[in-house]
Every structure is written in structure tokens, then in C-alpha cells.
Structure 1
Amino acid sequence: MLIRKADEQDLDAVCRLAEQINRQHHLAMPELFRDEIDPAAELAFWRERMEGEDRAILLAEREGQVLAFATLMLQTPPPMPFLQPRRICRLGTIVVDEAHQGQGLGSRLMLAAEDWGRRQQADELRLEVMAFNQRAHALYLRQGLAPQSQIMSKLLTGDAQ
């Protein structure tokens, strides 16, 4: 298996995999994730994630077939007097093709993400994961990530209770 940085020719494969993870998220949280996505907008979204020195999409590829990807972006939060300055490698999306899950692709991408972050002189790798996605939680824990904070939300639209 080869892990490499994506380029323009990989956008169709990225969109195909993104459709899988979006479907999973929409089924679990339709109030948050759309069922249908405008193809042109989606293409532009993923293209933006690969352009610039501070971001990358890493692909896991076997025999010329893209089986998984992860998006990475460097962030330097504004200085705050009560926080240590940090350079963060943010993992935005990671998805493994449904037909190839459980084969170690996610783990390999996570290690590649860490390596990319180190090469960019990041202090830490950070990500956000939906509470329903227990399979992803387990992967991240196996890879040595630990909870740092928790995002909580309450819908303010719709029926009031």
C-alpha cells in the first residue's frame, strides 16, 4: 500500500469516499448533515483542502485504487494569556472505503498524518469526532489520542420543549 499526497487528479476518488462518510453521518444525524450535496460545491470544498503549504489530503492507495484519505491543516491559534502557544495539525476528515475497513488503512493514515504534522513542526495532532462514531473513537484511542475537551450542542430550531 502507498500513502501519498493527493493532487487534482484524485478529486473524483476523494469525492467518492466523502460520499460514503457523509451518508454515514447523515443517517446518524440528519439534523446536522445533508442528504444531498451539490457536486460542484463538494469538488471545490475538497480542492481547497489540498491547496497550500499548510494543508494536505493524504491518500491510501493499493494497485492504483484510492481506498482511504485524511485531510490535514496546520493551525496556530491566536495568543491567549492563559494558554501555551501551540502549532496544531488538525485532522479534519478521515475516511476508509466501506469495502476495505478493518484492514489497517485508518491506522496507517493516522501514522502518516502524525509524520506530516511533525514535518510541519506541529506540537500536536488534534481532531473532532462525532459521539455516535464509536468505531472512529476506538481507532483514535488505539493510535494514542486522548480526549482533551468535549463539544456539546443543543438545537435551537424546531419544536421547543
Structure 2
Amino acid sequence: MSIQVCAPALVIRRCCSEDVHAMLPLMRQLRYPTTPSVLKERLSMLEGHDQLCSLVAEVDGVVIGTIFLKQHQTHDMVKPVTRITAMVVDEKHRGNGIGKRLLLEAESWGRQRCSSQMFVSVAGDNNLTSKSFYEYSGFTCAGYRLSKDL
């Protein structure tokens, strides 16, 4: 008699507007104030957009992480770059490699679109864990981010 153990299945896929209710708790963990209708509108905007992407990580059909990407190119760039505009893994699932898998899929998305680099901005005193995660994942820290409200 053999015992079969079923490990949870991790799936990384494109996000869609129907994921809105699964995404709301993740947005709150990012301290991103939003409503279901606003988030649904923004997720709908991403669907089919060539330079914007949102991926979700789900385990056994439950969304537990997401990453948002934007590709852009300016006049002084030979190739475009991909920016991570947001990334979060549900706090109950952190430390299990979910973030790393999201990053790998994001890198693949960027490479498929000929991006030469991926970058992310990490700001604030409470983001040392995020900064360490990105550095551990191969990112290098260079310079400071400056911004101005318009």
C-alpha cells in the first residue's frame, strides 16, 4: 500500500479583471487604497496591453501573489527596459519561493519583449526586507530615487 501525497500546485498566469476580489487583500498589504470597482477598471486596462502586464501566483486556485510590470523606452535607450511597479506575496506565504517564481516569470516577460534591464524602486524605511529580497535575487542598488509632486 502506497501513500500518495499531493503537493499544492503553484501556477503563475496573467491576471484578469475577474481576479479583482482575490487581488484586494494583496493591494491592502501593499497599503494601496482602492475599491473593487477601481481595481477592476485598472486590471481591465492591463488585459491585452502590449507594454503593461500583471501576473498572479496561485496555489490550488487561490491567488497568493502578484507582480505588475511596465515596459518603456526613451530616446536615449537602445533597447526598452521593464519596470516592476508593484509586487506582493501574501504575508502567510512569504519565504516559500513564490516571489522568486514571480520574478522569474517577470524576467521572461521582459526578455520576450527585448528588454535590456529590469528595475524596481524600493522607498521608505520599512522596505529593508524588500531591498534585501531584490538584492538576493540579483538586483544591484545604484543611486537614489528622487520625485516631485505635480
What is the root-mean-square deviation of aligned Cα atoms in Å?
2.1
* Change in CA separation of 1:37 and 1:14 when aligned onto 2, cut-off 3 Å: closer
In the TM superposition, what is the alpha-carbon distance from 1:38 to its structure 2 partner? Answer: 4.3
How many residues were matched structurally? 139
Alignment TM-score, normalising by the size of structure 2: 0.82
Partner in structure 2 of residue 119 of structure 1: 112
Partner in structure 2 of residue 147 of structure 1: 141
Alignment TM-score, normalising by the size of structure 1: 0.77
Q: 1:110 aligned to 2:103?
A: yes
Partner in structure 1 of residue 42 of structure 2: 45
In the TM superposition, what is the alpha-carbon distance from 1:143 to its structure 2 partner? Answer: 0.8
After TM superposition, the runs of 4+ consecutive aligned structure 1 residues lying more than 2 A away are 36-51, 152-155
Partner Cα separation in structure 2 for residue 147 and residue 47 of structure 1? 33
Partner in structure 2 of residue 33 of structure 1: none
In the TM superposition, what is the alpha-carbon distance from 1:85 to its structure 2 partner? Answer: 2.8
Percent sequence identity over matched residues? Answer: 26
* Change in CA separation of 1:45 and 1:111 when aligned onto 2, cut-off 3 Å: same
Partner in structure 2 of residue 100 of structure 1: 93
Gaps (5+ residues) in structure 2? Answer: 1-9
Q: 1:21 aligned to 2:30?
A: yes
CA contact (8 A) 1:49 1:71 kept: no
Partner in structure 1 of residue 19 of structure 2: 10
Gaps (5+ residues) in structure 1? Answer: 24-35, 156-161
In the TM superposition, what is the alpha-carbon distance from 1:15 to its structure 2 partner? Answer: 2.2
Partner Cα separation in structure 1 for residue 145 and residue 49 of structure 2? 28
